[in-house]
A and B are shown apart, each in its own frame.
Chain A
Amino acid sequence: MSTSTTTMDLSRTARTRIADTVVWVVLAGGAIFMLAPLLWMFSTSLKSQLEVFALPPVWIPEVPQWDTYVRMWDNSYILSGFANSAIVTFSVTILGTLTCSLAAFSIAKMRLPFRNTIFIGLLTGIMIPFPTLMIPQFVIFARIGWVDTLLPLIVPAIFGNIIVIFFLRQYLESVPNSLIEAAKIDGASFWQIFWRMIFPIIRPAIAAQFILWFMAVWNDYLAPILYLRTPERQTLQVVIASMNVQYATQRDYPLIMGASVVALLPIVVVFLIFQRQIIESIALTGSKG
């Protein structure tokens, strides 16, 4: 495939063409290595119990057991897992993004008293890892009776994410002050300035952070496993991890793999749809870091 297009490009030397072919083959080999575990997960989910433990291995099941994707919903908490993950992820990202953009606006563009103290104070928060905070946070939420609810996963995040604030502030630096001054002269309130002017301007940056934050919360495991005990209150990631423990003893690997496929599917589909934006967000965030 690659040789046919490169031969048309006459300006290139034969050596480059050979190199391109070699590189392409290596990339393709690597791509197989990257995809194989995921494809194998899918193929395992369609195998019969016999085929799972067959030697030599079966790659494509003779009769695909689509039944796996039917029976996994019985006696499992996948559906409530989806609902809980969706509740946590949407409330955190939507409300949290609003908090963060207001804070970024205030820090970057308003006459904020003690601005440096506040900003540098917040930044010290980034340097403290969650594992150091998790025990005291757990005790705090245990005392107010929030253990085994989704609240400890949602409420702290609504107070904002410092990394997101930091990133949005950087982005706002490029917005000229004169724009805001003009709006003030026109008698706009700060809420109006934020909502009608700042928010639309920083929308690309917000979109970038929103996507990354969404995926991080959706895939989070440590905090949910600390707080959520009752199966029907667990998020999807915890649900599939418990299914992994439960069904491994029954050696029902098709079911475990099927549940993992179902858990991965929404985020992979979102990724494939918003691929360009997601990839740009990541490149942008990385270069700003």
Chain B
Amino acid sequence: MTSTATPATAGLATAARRSGARRKSAPPGGGTSRLHRNEQKWALGFVALPVLGYLLFILYPVLFALYASLTRWNGLGAMEFIGLQNYANLLTDDRFHQSMWNTIFYLVGIPIGLAISLALALAMNRRLVGLTVFRTIYYIPVICSIAAVAILWQWAYNGDFGLVNQFLGLLGIDGPNWLADATWSKPAITLMMVWKGLGYSMLLYLAAIQAVPRSLMEAAELDGAGAWQRFRAITLPMVRPVTFFLVVTQIIASAQIFAEIQIMTPGGGPEYSTASAVFHIWRQAFQYQQMGYATAMAIVLGILIFIITLIQFRLNKRSSFVLD
């Protein structure tokens, strides 16, 4: 895009003639003419709100957080500077480690969910009756609010009367009291997340699969490639960008899981087995008023997520974020 070298219009030429001498020193096509200055003013006006919002609600909070993480502070009183003490404390804080480990555990749901969604997308790519209905049904959990879904599943995981154990009972399995059992609480929440997210991944996979040229598949078929070979050699590479996008965005989202935990296990679960990083930060900051310490944890989490996002930007060639 050549923003400064667009052909001068009649109006521009007059303006340029008027500003005669100055024009010589200005770059060719210069941004100094009155019309250009006018356009620049409007352009700046149009981005003013997002830029201001960025400064007020992102940059300033980040700088504030960086400083607050170096203090002992309850959110109201004075901030007492204690250097890197908060970060040092993180190294020996069992609950923080537990919550980080829990958060990593939840990531297990991502490959499981992606595998199922890809299989679903392949199934939906066939010419079957009622596909639209299926697509709608699989997608409904995605649009449901996380609060309602968490409330529903909390009840569904009830050990005695919950849907899950009733179903397992039909198969002759005596299910655990999921959310009250330190072994089963994390898998239970992971399963719920997979259920909620399937439709979204499925939809993106379906779009990617449908973009695979039919001729490619037919040619492979004529050459005697079996279904599995076609899947490995054509479909899988073709959907790789979508897989990459989903993996990264879902890591970023799962790393911030909060509502499910706070609603389904208000205390962080048995032996703190469900508490996620964000849940732990929220609890320290807003229930125990350890704002300085909680901010240090938030910074650590933020850096990890920042790195993942950066990897996405660097590797994903399709997101062209550099202009010109």
Contacts and interface: CB of A to CB of B under 8 A. Distances in A.
B286 A226 contact: yes
A245 B200 CA distance: 30
A20 B43 contact: no
Nearest to A270: B143
A286 B249 CA distance: 10
21 contacts: A20-B127, A34-B199, A37-B163, A38-B152, A105-B46, A113-B31, A118-B47, A120-B321, A129-B255, A129-B256, A134-B282, A138-B286, A142-B75, A185-B9, A221-B146, A240-B151, A256-B155, A263-B145, A283-B206, A286-B204, A287-B242
Nearest to A245: B266
A177 to B, nearest CB: 7
B13 to A, nearest CB: 12
Contacts of A256: 151, 155
Contacts of B11: 185
Contacts of A289: 245, 249, 316, 318-319
Chain A binding surface, main DSSP class: helix
B136 interface: yes
A34 to B, nearest CB: 5
A111 B140 contact: no
A19 B226 CA distance: 14
> Could you say which of A134, A225, A237 has the most chain B C-beta atoms within 10 Å of its C-beta?
A134
Nearest to B156: A37
B81 interface: no
Contact of B258 (A111, A139, A191, A221): A221
Contact of A133 (B62, B286, B306): B62
A73 interface: no
A40 interface: yes
B3 A221 contact: no
A181 B7 CA distance: 9
> Could you say which of B50, B127, B299 has the most chain A C-beta atoms within 10 Å of its C-beta?
B50
Interface stretch (A22-30, A62-70, A200-208): A22-30
A90 interface: no
B203 A222 contact: no
A267 interface: yes
B231 interface: no
A123 B252 CA distance: 16
Contact of A279 (B139, B259, B322): B139
Given A128-B62, A156-B53, A287 B120 contact: no
Contacts of A30: 120, 138
Nearest to B165: A57
Contacts of B7: 181
